[in-house]
Amino acid sequence: MTVSLFDQFMSPTYLGIPLLALALTLPWILYPSPSARWLNNRLLTLQGWFINRFTQQILTPLSLGGHKWALILTSLMIFLITLNILGLLPYTFTPTTQLSLNLGLAVPLWLATVLIGLRNQPTAALGHLLPEGTPTPLIPVLIIIETISLFIRPLALGVRLTANLTAGHLLMQLTSTAAFVMLSMMPTVAVLTTILLFLLTLLEVAVAMIQAYVFVLLLSLYLQGKR
């Protein structure tokens, strides 16, 4: 039973070829390309409104130098939301449940914020490792603690996204399995469990969107501290 629960998180293969790259590429096809016409359809209008609102929300606390990251952060947000929501469909694979993928997204972007801070404001970037007014005996200990906390940031980004999506998928599978098993024995309980599964699905849609937003928001906060 334990193996079957976690089988859904295994990377799919076809003829020995991993399909993870295909799963990461196909979501971009779902989004329509903006046209040169003055009047667009409702889908393009809604898409443009969402992108504008999100970009404004993310870039408001950043300085003008941080606005160069608008394209990267907005594209990453849309990409993560699409992968997370598509992963809720039956018989689909969610790439963002793989810790290796999430770390592959988190580590380079976090490292870019650190390098930008060291290049633009080296004194301030290194000053974060030692709070002002620290007693002399505590200086080596605090430097070690702050350095560890700095390197834990990308790990926290990847683990947070992976853990939340994995827990949600497992809970949905357990609930659906319980509803199917109890359908012949206790139909009333099975119906109640199905209603619970529907509400849980709505919750997981919200979690999929929120976790993508939190991932990008934390990256923007890391960037804000380095500008």
Each residue of 179-203: pLDDT tens digit? 888 888 888 888 888 898 899 989 9
**Averaged confidence pLDDT in the chain:** 81
Residue 164 lies in a domain: yes
Residue 126 lies in a domain: yes
Residue 208 lies in a domain: yes
d(CA 52, CA 77): 12
Q: Give the helix ranges, DSSP H, for the chain.
A: 2-6, 20-25, 42-59, 70-86, 99-120, 122-127, 139-185, 187-224
Residue 2 lies in a domain: no
What predicted TM-score, i.e. pTM, was given to this entire model? Answer: 0.80
Task: Using a pLDDT cut of 70, give the percent of the chain over it.
Answer: 88
Q: What pLDDT score was predicted for residue 9? A: 63
* Number of domains observed in the structure of the chain: 1
Q: Phi then psi for 18, rounded to 5 degrees?
A: -65, 135
Q: What pLDDT score was predicted for residue 1? A: 44
pLDDT at 226 over 70: no
Residue 139 lies in a domain: yes
pLDDT at 150 over 60: yes
Q: What average pLDDT does this structure show over 103-108?
A: 90
pLDDT at 2 over 50: no
d(CA 170, CA 178): 12
Residue 150, amino acid: L
Residue 111 lies in a domain: yes
Supply the range of the domain harboring residue 139. Answer: 13-33+41-226
Q: What pLDDT score was predicted for residue 206? A: 92
Q: Residue 20: CB partners within 8 Å, gap ≥ 6?
A: 11, 12, 95, 98, 101
Q: What pLDDT score was predicted for residue 221? A: 82
